[in-house]
Amino acid sequence: MTSIASLNDLPSDFVVALSNTMIISLEGEQADTYLHGQITVNINKLDDMTARHFAHCDNKGKTWATGYVTRHSNKLLLMTNADAGHHSLAQLNKYGVFSKVDIVDETTSYHAYFVSSNAAKNRHFQTMLEEHFAKVELDRLFESSQSESNTLQKVASDHGVIFSANTSREGFLLLLGKDAHQQFEEHVRSLSIPSYSQPVFDAIQIESVHAMLDNEAIGEYVPQMINVQALNGIDFDKGCYMGQEVVARTRFLGKNKRAAYSFKLEGKVDVKPGDSLEKQLGDNWRVAGKILKVAALESETWFIAVLNNDTTSEDLHRLADHSAITCYPNSLPYSIEQQASNIVKKRR
Q: Are residues 56 and 198 in the same domain?
A: yes
60 lies in some domain: yes
Residues 182-200: pLDDT tens digits? 999 999 999 999 999 999 9
What is the residue-averaged pLDDT of the chain?
93
The answer to whether 212 and 88 are in contact (CB under 8 A) is no
What is the C-alpha separation between 156 and 150, in angstroms, rounded? Answer: 19
| Cα–Cα distance, 225 to 342 (Å, whole number) | 22
Q: What is the pTM of this model?
A: 0.94
Q: Which residues contact 190 (CB under 8 A, 6 or more apart)?
A: none
Q: How many domains does the chain have?
A: 2
Q: Note whether 171 and 277 are same-domain residues.
A: no
Q: Supply the range of the domain harboring residue 106.
A: 9-207
Check residue 347 and give its pLDDT: 44
Flag whether 343 is in a domain: no
Examine residue 338 and state whether it is found in any structural domain, yes or no. no
Same domain for 73 and 172?
yes
pLDDT digits (tens, 9 = 90+) for 239-267: 899 999 999 988 888 789 999 999 999 99
Q: Return d(Cα 7, Cα 5) in angstroms, integer.
A: 7
Q: Whose CA is closest to 216, among 298, 271, 172, 278?
A: 271
> Domain check: are 200 and 99 in the same one?
yes
Task: Report the CATH number that the domain containing residue 102 is assigned in CATH.
Answer: 3.30.1360.120
Give pLDDT tens digits for 137-156: 999 999 875 544 567 999 99
Residues 6+ apart with CB under 8 A from 68: 51, 52, 53, 54, 78, 79, 80, 152, 163, 173
Amino acid found at 343: I
Instruction: Assign residue 290 the CATH number of its domain.
Output: 2.40.30.160
Q: What is the mean pLDDT of residues 218-230?
A: 97
d(C-alpha 228, C-alpha 306), whole Å: 12
Strand pairing of 15-17 and 195-196?
A: parallel
Residue 348 confidence class, pLDDT cut points 50, 70, 90? very low
Torsions phi, psi for 208 (to 5 deg): -80, -5
Classify burial at 280, counting beta carbons within 10 Å of its beta carbon; exposed 0-12, middle 13-18, buried 19 or more.
middle
State the pairing for strand pair 102-105/195-196: unpaired
Residue 339 lies in a domain: no
272 occurs within a structural domain = yes
Whether residue 341 lies inside any domain: the answer is no
Does residue 340 have a pLDDT over 70?
A: no
In a domain, 142, yes or no: yes
- The reply to whether 173 and 227 lie within a common domain is no
> What average pLDDT does range 111-136 have in this prediction?
95
